[in-house]
Structure 1
Amino acid sequence: MTLAMAPSSTSNSARAMHRSAACGTLGRASVPRAVRAASRLAPARAVSEDVVQMATGFGAVVGGGAVARFVQGATDPEVRRQQMADEAGGDELRSVGDYFSGEGFQRWRRIYDDEAEDVNKVQKDIREGHAKTIDIALEWFGQDLDGVTVCDAGCGTGSLTIPLALRGAQVSASDISAPMAEEAGRRYEAAAQGRQGCVQPNFEAKDLERLSGSYDTVACLDVMIHYPDSKMEGMVGHLASMAQNRMIISFAPKTPYYSFLKRVGELFPGKSKATRAYLHAEEDVERALVSEGFRVVKRDMTATNFYFSRILEAVRV
């Protein structure tokens, strides 16, 4: 699952706009050009109210002279995020699990449902971007998967697990959110109905640190966004310990534009900040793979207006 801060609904965005417009209407001209450009480089599951709140904040500063409020908000975001984690019991993983088991589950279930119509343009864009990343991974897996064992770590609602199982792969799928794993199971049952040669995946609610086993391929898409640099290497190492032959992972790449957007967005509070969103430099991820005895053989990028994800395939050497 990627994600950290889910996209807000259109109505929520409108209310935020109205609140910031107390000193004048917030329009396109109120937002600096660099900010507008940066908003097009948001990573998987990390785009959200950050974009709206950032624009809202700039509108308040530029249009209303709320400089004091801006300066007051310009504190270290990690301090505020830590306070939010403390409110969730001091466990960051628990705060992620709580989010994707509640409000986040309802939101992302709709985003990952191609037939759901109650999504806004940003959510639809993220849906399309995520689907493109899945398509890349499926192309790398190939069609003949009979007997191939796969670990789908952070399976979400089964976007990758289900087509792999329908191709004959034996998939162990897990997600930190029990509702997500259960939804993935329901979607598999619906997709496999009347089909021959399918292998029932094993769906379970479990965080990455507690996964075990040995698999031909370990896949982990749009999950690294929940892990800071200090824990990324350990996460890659743990996943690598379960991969006999290959790993396929995706992450939100660290770019100057989105790093700027993310930093500015963090200056303005909102409930979407219930989980952190971490970006990772591609060279750092590749270095972690190499240290575990893997070599990157394929790489690709998915970039839409509000989804930005780098995907790598690495084989054991």
Structure 2
Amino acid sequence: METHTYLRRRNQIESYFDGTAAEAWKRLTSDAPLGRIRQTVRAGRDDMRATLLGWLPDDLRGIRLLDAGCGTGALANEAAARGAEVVATDLSRSLIELARDRAPRTFGTGHVEFIVGDMLQPDLGRFDYVVAMDSLIHYSAPDMVVVLAGLAAKASRGVLFTYAPKTTALAMMHAIGRAFPRSDRAPAIEPISAFHLDELVEAEPKLRDWNICRTKRIASGFYKSQAVELVPE
């Protein structure tokens, strides 16, 4: 069940990526030249996307996949190129429009449907896999696990997601961001320790039949994210 804090943060994320961040995200996810800091973020995101796709079967024909928080559609397009039937959702209409513009005209046996909306909306249906790359990092740890439970209810074979690992440097940046808020600043990233995540997953009744299978950290300059694979027992 969606909480009040989840809905409030969801609205902040939607507003940010439809407004302040739209042009910057367009450049970050393209081949356009970037400054040194954003180059590390682009490289880290490329590594993370490759990691998550590498945890999926090589042949995705006949597989239905939800790309939850798809951004400009890079992961969705790669999965479809391997044969998957992909539903790709994002809160941001601007990013979905860009994803549609960038998508190839044909994927062979695969397909992508880009949808503006919430990853938890009930009319999306059931999937073999759900992938949520860097789309949960702005939510509090309890809300993130509630969302994971909702995504797991849609998946039969696995949920692949990322979170912001709690490190000293990331915690410091997080504290500074809260101390000096700006109207154009991205919604704060919510770092979480692996131990705390394990505790919350184990305590969530709707995830009692799911286990953490694989995990991998990607660190590239200013990009730090932890990949996790949840699988049913």
TM-score category of the 2 structures, normalised to the smaller one:
0.7 to 0.9
State the shift of 1:196 in Å.
Answer: 3.1
Q: What is aligned with 2:171?
A: 259
1:273 aligned counterpart, secondary structure = coil
Name whichever of 204-213 and 143-152 sits farther off: 204-213
Q: What is aligned with 2:22?
A: 105
State the shift of 1:269 in Å.
Answer: 3.4
Does the aligned pair in 2 maintain the 1:112–1:127 contact within 8 Å? yes
| Larger proportion of helix | 1
Does the aligned pair in 2 maintain the 1:236–1:288 contact within 8 Å? no
2:10 corresponds, among 68, 81, 93, to 93
Q: What is aligned with 1:17?
A: none
Does the aligned pair in 2 maintain the 1:237–1:288 contact within 8 Å? no
Alignment of 1:162 with 2:74, yes or no, is no
Q: What is aligned with 2:36?
A: 121
Spell out the pairing of 1:143-154 with structure 2 (5 A cutoff): 143-154=58-69
Does the aligned pair in 2 maintain the 1:216–1:245 contact within 8 Å? yes
1 or 2 for the larger relative contact order (CA 8 Å, sep ≥6)? Answer: 1
- Relative to 1, partners in 2 of residues 1:136 and 1:270: Cα closer, same or farther, differing over 3 Å? same
1:308 aligned counterpart, secondary structure = strand
Does the aligned pair in 1 maintain the 2:18–2:95 contact within 8 Å? yes
TM (norm. structure 2) is: 0.88
2:145 corresponds, among 227, 233, 236, to 233
TM (norm. structure 1) is: 0.66
Distance (Å, rounded) in 1 between the aligned partners of 2:231 and 2:180: 42
Letter in 1 for 2:63: V
Gaps of 5+ in 2: none
Q: What is aligned with 2:132?
A: 220
1:137 corresponds, among 14, 29, 52, to 52
Question: How big is the alpha-carbon RMSD for the aligned residues of Structure 1 and Structure 2?
Answer: 2.0
1:260 aligned counterpart, secondary structure = helix
Q: What is aligned with 2:88?
A: 173
Q: What is aligned with 1:210?
A: 121
Calculate percent identity across the aligned residue pairs: 26
Gaps of 5+ in 1: 1-81, 83-89
Name whichever of 242-251 and 210-219 sits farther off: 210-219
2:221 corresponds, among 286, 296, 305, to 305
Cα deviation per residue 1:113-172 (whole Å; 9 max; x = unaligned)?
1x212x211111101100000010111113211001101100001121000000000111
Which protein is bigger by CA-based radius of gyration? 1
Does the aligned pair in 1 maintain the 2:83–2:108 contact within 8 Å? no
| Larger proportion of strand | 2
